[in-house]
Amino acid sequence: MPQRRSEQNNIVQDFRKGKVNIIVATSILEEGLDIQSCNLVIRFDLSATVCSFIQSRGRARVQNSDFLLIVRSGDTSTLERVENYIASGDIMRKESLSHASLPCLPLDSKMFNEVFYRVKSTGAVVTLSSSVALIYFYCSRLPSDGYFKPYPRFEIDKEAKVCTLNFPNSCPIPTVEAEGENIKMLKKLACLEACKKLHQIGALTDNLVPDIVEEETEAQELGNETYIDQQVNYVPPELVSYPCANGSVVSYHCYLIELNRNFEYNIPLQHVVLGVRVELEFNDENVAFELDVERGKLTVQLKYAGLVNLTYEQVLLCQRFQITLFRVLLDRNIKKMEGILDEFSLRNDLPMFDYLVLPCTSSYIDSSVIDWKCVTSVLFSGMLLNGSHNFVSCSCKSSRFQMHTISGLVCSCRLEDSLVCTPHNGNLYSIMGVLDDLHGNSLLKLRDGQTMTYTQYFKLRHGIDLRFKGQFLLKGRHIFPVQNNLQRSRQHNENEASNAFVELPPEICLIIMSPLSVATLYSFSFVPSIMHRIESLLIAVNLKRMHLDHCTQNVDIPTVKVLEAITTKKCLEKYHLESLETLGDSFLKYAASQQLFKTYQNHHEGLLSIKKEKIISNVALCKLGCDRKLPGFIRDEPFDPKTWTVPGDQSIVYRLDEELLSPTRKVYARGNRNLKSKRIADVVEALIGAFLSTGGEAAALSFMYWLGIRVDFNNVPYERHFRVQPEKHVNVKYLENLLKYSFRDASLLVEALTHGSYMLPEIPRCYQRLEFLGDAVLDYLVTVHLYHKYPGMSPGLLTDMRSASVNNDCYAQSAVRAGLHKHILHASQQLHNHIIEAVHSFQQSPEATTFGWESQTTCPKALGDIIESLAGAILIDSGYNKEIVFQSIRPLLEPMITPQTVKLHPVRELNDLCHKEHYVKQKTVVSSGSTSTVTIKIEANGITYEHSHTASDRKVANKLACKAALDSFKERMLGSTITQI
């Protein structure tokens, strides 16, 4: 079956992009098409000539590539011809080498009989004979769509002996004329003159190939650059230092961590003191955030509390306290903790997490902010061993009494606020008081209704004989679990667990720390999550300062916005970068597009698009991010308290390597982690969005300049060297009333409505360049509108609303509603028919389906394109006033999408469902002539669902097949619900 030119071009493009690995073709690939990067060529039929053989073999141009020629076994004559071809090639090679030392004869010597054009810098030559093919090749690389193919048109006036070459509208040169006596040579003369002019304006490169070919090659080389997934993970230098020397006095900047809650609970909170070696660079920012805890919200606020000087012995005491307390909370294993403390004195001189987290006094306004009485609780077991604590020396009230414990005879005051362990089962408890109405002989009612004394219970359940049956029991509480309190969607549970409190005989208790209140234990169970957030904020501060060190402008944005931009969805926190990424992506796209539009005023849309991709592609952004050391700042994993490093604890081996961010700023790297290149690109876009959302466009441009993206918003006149009489082609007054905008240059309105198929000399440009610009500005304006109008939306919702608002289907329906389809200037019968079909389909659709997802047909792209091109035209005519563009175009887009009306695209919705429910999805596409059939097969819970749809457009077929699969799932789920009821 013969293939259409478009199908052949698509195959070649897919081969160039790597989507297709094998091409089976006729000998046209010898010269007719430019195929790059072949590493294996297999020829099944023998070349007719030596030239054909050399051309065919030349397709295997990649280094270490292979060329295979299939010859039938026993066919000696064919084999001899192959050997002759190879020998001839060797002869030509040797002959060329033998003359290599001699200067080549100039091309204008007598041995050449035809006119040519030569590029001095490269020696590239186009002759009269080859110029026609080059012009056709150039035109074939101009932008096109399904309704027209760009090609040169020739008009020959035999009487005047003049040939006029008319280029497609997207070519920067409208026409070229050539004169000559020989009528047969006029076409070639016009083409050669056109080649010369195209080279002079840069449309043909110095190698005399279309400029887009070299741009594509550069873009492909950029995409082939190697990226290493293993990237460093930074930790803030403010929390890292070397161990202090024996006998030294160390200064610590103290910060009060205030804890407040929005729920009632019988266990109080205690504020915490954070001590660091250097002052934190939060400036005057209010550092406050929320934690999701079991019973509600916990508000954390950081306040500077002053400077304290600690001796070497005090520092060791503080470190011993926090190591003991955190290891108890994290490990719940007293033996493991004892082993860690035994190694505490074996200190090395390597950098480590060196900050203090200590209990705060109740009157923290005083100079003594640290609760030293609580800190010394870690020494209690040692005090018992050396006899420094006994009942007689206790200074508490006389109403207290001595109690027998595993630790010895202690005053009851030391038990009431203590951390104890019951060695028989290894459990840890916080003692909240003495139960003076219960003792060993008191009755205990079990869950099954049985009643026995506590003495009998401990004998029966644990095999323990209580010796001091008359001792009052202790009220103990299981220690609090350490959880990730930063994680979103935590369910609150206001009820206390039934087994949270227990009655304990003192004689089975081993005192670990005293005095240590239950409030201290409760509050410190939140510290790992608090410190993880503070560490993340400090990382954001360092990134912000690194940018400011290189920034000439005073651009400062909130630290929390920077943190949002470097926090990925994988962290499972309440905020992540997606909204800022969407915002930054739209701004970057617009900034790059308008810069390219102004800079390259002779470049067609295809060339501009490739140049834009070289700026905004994930590969390009990843490279820029890596050059600025951004990967180390990215937060890409959920917080796991089990892996949290207790400050001062050197029992866990870890390495912190100093790394310079700038000559004056350093950071520490802790190991490597796997980070995909797209993640880095997403963070770059999110950081642009962060600067944009808080500092405006100037701040975003400043950050982009620091990254290496050079764009500006200077107003550059749009040069158009031709005159058009707009009223002859479009109804200017009607369109201006519709758009609520009066054009200074109404010829822009004509250009915005001219399709590429409408090739008239008096309209030398089509709408493609304006569409390129308008697409970017509308995307940006709609995204900014949604971002600011719905500030409280979830991060993913902005992306969904943008996708549903900024798409060709939505724009096409807006164009039909406004009647703009009647004003498109085109010369394609096929486009005319498709517009009629689209209008009919729109009129038959219910009013609720205004966003294109429900359409059963494909709207011609041209319908959506003119909305974008009109936006581009208004932007230029108004002097790049984006507000005027939005005021003019927004009424055409009404009703705008809201969080209540947004609908996911069926393909996206089905993919999300399969990912969430772990369904296996397979898609097959079968193209036959002008139609495509897409089959979606899904394996769910042992059942296979299969849905197919056929349409003239593959995307529509895919959309409707996915929609059918979704409808099937929803019916099944509804049926299941009814059955359960």
Read out DSSP for 659-686? EEEETTEEEEEEEEEE--HHHHHHHHHH
Angle, alpha carbons 517-521-525 (nearest 5°) = 165
> Which stretch of DSSP H or E encloses residue 43?
strand 40-43
Q: Tell me: pLDDT of 491 over 80.
A: no
Structure tokens at 429: 């408890």
Do the beta carbons of residue 610 and residue 216 sit within 8 Å? yes
| 654: Cα separation from own chain's centroid | 29
Q: Tell me: pLDDT of 970 over 90.
A: no
Do the beta carbons of residue 492 and residue 399 sit within 8 Å? no
Upstream peptide bond of 899 is cis (omega within 30 degrees of 0): no
Rounded distance, CA 417 to CA 432, Å?
6
Hey, is 789 helix, strand or coil?
helix
Question: Which of 27-41, 628-642, 692-706, 861-875 shows the lowest mean pLDDT across its residues?
Answer: 27-41
Rounded distance, CA 119 to CA 117, Å?
7
| 263: Cα separation from own chain's centroid | 37
Q: Tell me: pLDDT of 460 over 80.
A: yes
Rounded distance, CA 31 to CA 130, Å?
13
pLDDT band at 573 (very low <50, low <70, confident <90, very high): very high
Residue given tokens 């005053």 in the structure block = 411
pLDDT band at 766 (very low <50, low <70, confident <90, very high): very high
Q: Are strands 66-69 and 40-43 parallel, antiparallel or unpaired?
A: parallel
Q: Tell me: pLDDT of 346 over 90.
A: no
Rounded distance, CA 671 to CA 631, Å?
13
Q: Which residue has the higher pLDDT, 980 or 295?
A: 295
Q: To the nearest 10°, report the CA torsion of 715, 719, 725, 726.
A: -40
Do the beta carbons of residue 415 and residue 405 sit within 8 Å? yes
Do the beta carbons of residue 432 and residue 475 sit within 8 Å? yes
Question: Which of 146-150, 425-429, 666-670, 969-973 shows the lowest mean pLDDT across its residues?
Answer: 969-973
Do the beta carbons of residue 202 and residue 171 sit within 8 Å? no
The pLDDT of residue 396: 62
Instruction: Give the mean pLDDT of 442-463.
Output: 91
Structure tokens at 708: 């290496």
Q: Tell me: pLDDT of 112 over 80.
A: no
Q: Tell me: pLDDT of 588 over 60.
A: yes
Q: Tell me: pLDDT of 826 over 80.
A: yes
Residue type, 221: E
Structure tokens at 44: 């099944």
Do the beta carbons of residue 650 and residue 347 sit within 8 Å? yes
Residue type, 37: S
The pLDDT of residue 164: 94
Structure tokens at 353: 């997490």
Count Cβ atoms within 10 A of the Cβ of residue 44 and give its class: 0-12 exposed, 13-18 middle, 19 or more buried: exposed
Do the beta carbons of residue 631 and residue 675 sit within 8 Å? yes
The chain-wide mean pLDDT, for the chain, equals 86
Q: Tell me: pLDDT of 818 over 80.
A: yes
| 467: Cα separation from own chain's centroid | 66
Half-sphere exposure of 153 (CA within 13 A, CB side): 15
Q: Tell me: pLDDT of 31 over 60.
A: no
Instruction: Give the mean pLDDT of 553-570.
Output: 90
pLDDT band at 979 (very low <50, low <70, confident <90, very high): very low
The pLDDT of residue 859: 82
Structure tokens at 92: 């030509």
Q: Which residue has the higher pLDDT, 50 or 601?
A: 601
Q: Output the CA–CA distances (angstroms, integers) from residue 915 to 908, 912, 920, in the order listed.
A: 11, 5, 8
The pLDDT of residue 111: 40
The pLDDT of residue 392: 40
Q: Output the CA–CA distances (angstroms, integers) from residue 629 to 187, 539, 549, 563, in the order listed.
A: 57, 13, 14, 16
Closest CA to 302 of 525, 546, 533: 533
Alpha helices for 791-860 (secondary structure H): 795-805, 808-818, 829-844
The pLDDT of residue 847: 55
* HEC readout, 883-941: HHHHHHHHHHHCCCCCCCCCCCCHHHHHHHHHHHHCCEEEEEEEEECCEEEEEEEEEEC
The pLDDT of residue 589: 98
Q: Determine phi and psi for 79, rounding to 5 degrees.
A: -65, -40
Do the beta carbons of residue 420 and residue 521 sit within 8 Å? no
Do the beta carbons of residue 147 and residue 757 sit within 8 Å? yes
Structure tokens at 412: 């009851």
Upstream peptide bond of 515 is cis (omega within 30 degrees of 0): yes
What global pTM score does this model have? 0.83
The pLDDT of residue 846: 62
Residue 363: partners with Cβ closer than 8 Å, 6 or more residues away: none
The pLDDT of residue 104: 46
For the stretch 834-839, contacts whose Cβ atoms lie closer than 8 Å and that sit 24 or more positions apart, written own/partner, are: 834/147, 834/860, 835/860, 835/862, 835/863, 838/812, 838/863
> Which stretch of DSSP H or E encloses residue 437?
strand 427-439
Do the beta carbons of residue 291 and residue 486 sit within 8 Å? yes
Rg from Cα positions in the chain? 38
Q: Tell me: pLDDT of 100 over 70.
A: no
Helices 795-805/578-599 angle, 10° precision: 40
- 219-258 pLDDT, tens digit per residue, is 888 878 888 899 999 999 999 998 888 888 999 999 999 9
Instruction: Give the mean pLDDT of 623-642.
Output: 95
Instruction: Give the mean pLDDT of 58-76.
Output: 74
Question: Which of 189-198, 783-792, 927-936 shows the lowest mean pLDDT across its residues?
Answer: 927-936
- 703-732 pLDDT, tens digit per residue, is 999 999 999 999 888 887 777 889 999 999
Q: Tell me: pLDDT of 514 over 70.
A: yes
Question: Which of 274-283, 484-493, 855-864 shows the lowest mean pLDDT across its residues?
Answer: 484-493
The pLDDT of residue 848: 46
Hey, is 148 helix, strand or coil?
strand
> Is the dihedral angle over the CA atoms 782, 785, 790, 793 positive or is it negative?
positive
Residue 904: partners with Cβ closer than 8 Å, 6 or more residues away: 800, 804, 853, 912
Do the beta carbons of residue 869 and residue 879 sit within 8 Å? no
Task: Check residue 379 and report its DSSP letter.
Answer: G
Instruction: Give the mean pLDDT of 916-930.
Output: 76
Helices 312-331/527-549 angle, 10° precision: 120
Q: For residue 353, what are the β-bridge partners?
A: 240
Question: Which of 50-54, 195-199, 401-405 shows the lowest mean pLDDT across its residues?
Answer: 50-54
Q: Output the CA–CA distances (angstroms, integers) from residue 121 to 105, 112, 681, in the order listed.
A: 17, 21, 38
Closest CA to 321 of 627, 649, 789: 649
Under the phi-then-psi rule, with left for phi > 0, alpha for psi from -120 to 50, and beta for the rest, what region is 306?
Answer: left
Rounded distance, CA 924 to CA 933, Å?
8
Residue type, 563: L
Q: Tell me: pLDDT of 116 over 50.
A: yes
Do the beta carbons of residue 391 and residue 410 sit within 8 Å? yes
- 394-405 pLDDT, tens digit per residue, is 656 555 688 999
Hey, is 606 helix, strand or coil?
helix
Q: Determine phi and psi for 75, rounding to 5 degrees.
A: -85, 85
Quick one: what percent of the chain has pLDDT higher than 90?
A: 55
* HEC readout, 267-286: CCCCCEEEEECCCCCCCCCC
Task: Check residue 540 and report its DSSP letter.
Answer: H
Residue 145: partners with Cβ closer than 8 Å, 6 or more residues away: 756, 861, 862
Structure tokens at 71: 């010859």
Rounded distance, CA 136 to CA 145, Å?
17
- 122-144 pLDDT, tens digit per residue, is 999 999 989 999 999 999 999 99
Instruction: Give the mean pLDDT of 473-483.
Output: 93
pLDDT band at 101 (very low <50, low <70, confident <90, very high): very low
Q: Tell me: pLDDT of 596 over 80.
A: yes
Instruction: Give the mean pLDDT of 69-92.
Output: 77
> Which stretch of DSSP H or E encloses residue 5?
helix 5-17
